[in-house]
Amino acid sequence: MSALLDQAVKACLRSGEYSLPLLPESTGRLLELLQSTGVDFGEVEQLVSCEAALAARVLRVANSTALRGSREVSSIREAITRLGTRQVTRIALSEQVASVFNVPGFEDLARANWWDARMSSLYASAVAGEVGADTDTAFVCGLLHAVGRPIVLQTVVQIAGLLNEPQPRAAVQGWVEAWYADVGLSLVKSWGLPEVVQAAIQHHKRPEAAEAHATMCAITALSGMLTRSSPPSEAALTRLAEHPVCQSLDISAERLIELVDPTLSGLLAA
């Protein structure tokens, strides 16, 4: 890695002069639905039915081994009835956010980052349910806590291309780890997302530093830890229960073990 590339990448990330994707109108509406007290069945059906890829995804999840009932469902209406409007809204939101994680040239890292984001969203929701926090907010925080990763990747690709420089994998990963939280925070601020989501992105690495929304920051931190050890063994969960984040949430090893659902990865693969 050349000093020129390192300086150019850091200068760009430090200055904030990188491209941020716009929030699609339908994604904004899905976020609004998750924050509302009730989700309208007809609106969810219409949103899902308008996009073939999303409709196919919802049907696959509804017919997955983990959820499949006595018969296969073949319509969006039946799938929503089986899964519930809030669950389908979460699936739709995940599919909408997927486009942010698409980075040509680093497809393997992009796929891994996207898998981690989706798994973190499921773990965050489950942990929130255990500690009495809002599960939908936790889902969004888990999904978006590392949304800065693909933006850093894309920035590196663009700068390296302009300078005609190679992109060493180790250096790229170092830049991503160092900057993704700052870049992700800039993104969700530009999208106008709630302060609790901003706090989770900013403080999930050190939730003890959060002055507000400390519980949600801790939930997001724990969801990331569970994802990185996925599928976590009983021994790993026992060790994790000793972490200050688990202690702040008052989650014991026994509760962690009960919390981890082995079917979650199956739902993601559907």
Q: For residue range 66-105, list pLDDT tens digits in order.
A: 666 667 888 889 988 888 888 888 888 888 888 788 777 7
CB 128 within 8 A of CB 138: yes
Distance CA 206, CA 143 (A): 18
pTM above 0.85, yes or no: yes
Q: What's the rounded mean pLDDT across residues 220-239? A: 87
How many residues does the structure list for the chain?
Answer: 270
Q: Is 21 helix (H, G, I), strand (E, B) or coil?
A: coil
Nearest in space to 101 (alpha carbons), one of 141, 139, 140, 148: 148
pLDDT per residue as tens digits for the range 166-222? 878 888 889 999 999 999 999 999 999 999 999 999 999 999 999 999 999 999 999
pLDDT at 28: 82
Find the domain containing 56 and state its range: 3-269
> Could you check whether the bond before residue 150 is cis, i.e. omega within 30 degrees of 0?
no
> Helices in 194-261 by DSSP H: which ranges?
195-203, 214-228, 234-240, 244-249, 253-259
Q: What's the rounded mean pLDDT across residues 17-36? A: 83
CB 21 within 8 A of CB 4: no
Q: What's the rounded mean pLDDT across residues 24-43? A: 81
Distance CA 268, CA 115 (A): 8
Q: E-assigned strands of 102-241?
A: none
pLDDT at 64: 77
Q: Is 18 helix (H, G, I), strand (E, B) or coil?
A: coil
Q: How far is CA 98 from the centre of its chain?
A: 9
Domain count, the chain: 1
Distance CA 17, CA 159 (A): 12
Residue at 259: amino acid letter: L
Nearest in space to 121 (alpha carbons), one of 135, 134, 140: 140
Which H or E run includes 97? helix 85-97
Could you tell me the CATH number of the domain that includes residue 170? 1.10.3210.10
| Main-chain phi, psi angles of 146, to 5 degrees | -115, 25
Dihedral sign, Cα of residue 13, residue 14, residue 18, residue 22 = positive
CB 128 within 8 A of CB 134: yes
CB 161 within 8 A of CB 114: no
CB 203 within 8 A of CB 210: yes
pLDDT over 90 percentage in the chain: 40
Higher per-residue confidence, 54 vs 238: 238
For 44-48, 51-55, 139-143, 175-179, which range has the lowest pLDDT when averaged over its residues?
51-55
User: Which range has the top average pLDDT, 46-55, 113-122, 209-218, 248-257?
Assistant: 209-218
Q: Around Cβ 23, how many Cβ atoms within 10 Å? A: 18
